[in-house]
C-alpha cells in the first residue's frame, strides 16, 4: 500500500450517480449493477490512480482480474447510498477484495491509501524479504494486513518473484563494479535500482523499505 491521490470524479458519475443511487436505494436488490460502478470510464480512472495496481497490496492486475471494491460495503449501515460514490470505489485484486468484513475489522481501524501518507504507511508496515509484517508491532499494521489478507501465500509468491528480479539486477551491477576495478555505483545504476521504489512499480512499498535499509534512498 502507498499513498494515492484521487482523480476528479469521472464524467459518467457526474451525469449518472444520483440516478443510479436513487434506483438502487429504492430497489430490493442486494447488490448494485456492476456494469454501472464498473463502467469503462470509472475503471480507466481507477487504473490511472494506481498505475494498474491493487489499491491495497500493489500487485499489478490486468483488466480481466481487476475487481471494483466498495471501501464501505453496500451491505454495511449507510453503504447503499455509497454504491456509486466515487470516493468509495477502489481497484482491488481478487485476494484483497475478499477482505474481512467491517464488523470484525472496521475500516477506521486500518490504513487507508487516500488518507494516510507514505510515511504513515511505512511507520506501520514493513517487510522481511517477501513477507509483510507490522512495523514495531503496530496494531494498525496488524489489522491492515489481516483485513486485506496482505500476508497470503499468493501475494508472498508474487512479491518473491519481484525480489528475485531485483536481486538479479543488483548482482549484475555488483559484478560490473568488481570488473571495473571495484568502482562505486554510478548514477545510471542507482536510478535503475531506485526505479523499483517508484509508485508505478509493483510492490513499491516493499522496495522502498528494502532500499532505505540498504542505503540506496
Asked if 110 and 143 touch (Cβ cutoff 8 Å), the reply is yes
Q: What is the mean pLDDT of the chain?
A: 93
Residue 183 has what pLDDT?
Answer: 87
Which residue in 124, 122, 204, 213 sits closest to 166, CA to CA?
A: 204
- SS3 string, 49-65, reads HHCCECCCCCCECCHHH
CA 183 vs. chain centroid, Å, equals 37
Calpha distance 142→135 (Å, rounded): 9
Residue 64 has what pLDDT?
Answer: 65
Instruction: Give per-residue pLDDT as tens, 60-83.
Output: 997 767 899 999 988 888 889 999
Instruction: Give per-residue pLDDT as tens, 6-26.
Output: 999 999 999 999 999 999 999
Helix (H) or strand (E) holding 167: helix 153-179
Residue 178 has what pLDDT?
Answer: 92
| pLDDT of 123 strictly over 90 | yes
Calpha distance 93→68 (Å, rounded): 9
Calpha distance 79→87 (Å, rounded): 12
Calpha distance 62→18 (Å, rounded): 30
Residue 151 has what pLDDT?
Answer: 96
Instruction: Give per-residue pLDDT as tens, 143-154.
Output: 999 999 999 999
Q: Let me know how many helices (H) and strands (E) the chain has, helices first.
A: 9, 4
Amino acid at each position: 500500500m502507498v499513498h494515492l491521490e484521487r482523480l476528479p470524479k469521472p464524467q459518467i458519475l457526474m451525469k449518472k450517480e444520483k440516478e443510479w443511487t436513487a434506483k438502487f436505494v429504492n430497489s430490493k436488490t442486494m447488490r448494485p449493477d456492476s456494469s454501472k460502478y464498473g463502467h469503462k470510464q470509472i475503471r480507466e480512472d481507477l487504473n490511472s490512480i494506481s498505475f494498474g495496481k491493487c489499491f491495497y497490496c500493489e500487485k499489478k492486475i490486468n483488466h480481466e482480474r481487476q475487481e471494483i471494491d466498495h471501501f464501505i460495503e453496500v451491505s454495511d449501515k449507510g453503504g447503499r447510498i455509497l454504491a456509486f460514490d466515487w470516493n468509495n470505489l477502489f481497484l482491488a485484486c481478487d485476494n484483497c477484495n475478499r477482505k474481512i468484513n467491517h464488523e470484525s475489522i472496521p475500516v477506521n481501524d486500518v490504513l487507508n491509501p487516500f488518507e494516510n501518507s507514505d510515511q504513515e504507511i511505512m511507520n506501520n508496515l514493513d517487510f522481511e524479504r517477501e513477507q509483510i509484517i507490522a512495523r514495531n508491532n503496530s496494531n494498525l499494521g496488524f489489522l491492515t494486513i489481516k483485513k486485506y489478507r496482505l500476508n497470503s501465500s499468493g501475494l508472498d509468491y508474487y512479491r518473491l518473484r519481484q525480489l528475485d528480479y531485483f536481486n538479479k539486477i543488483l548482482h549484475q551491477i555488483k559484478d560490473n563494479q568488481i570488473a571495473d576495478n571495484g568502482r562505486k555505483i554510478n548514477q545510471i545504476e542507482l536510478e535503475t535500482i531506485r526505479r523499483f521504489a517508484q509508485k508505478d512499480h509493483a510492490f513499491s512499498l516493499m522496495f522502498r523499505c528494502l532500499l532505505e535499509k540498504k542505503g540506496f534512498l
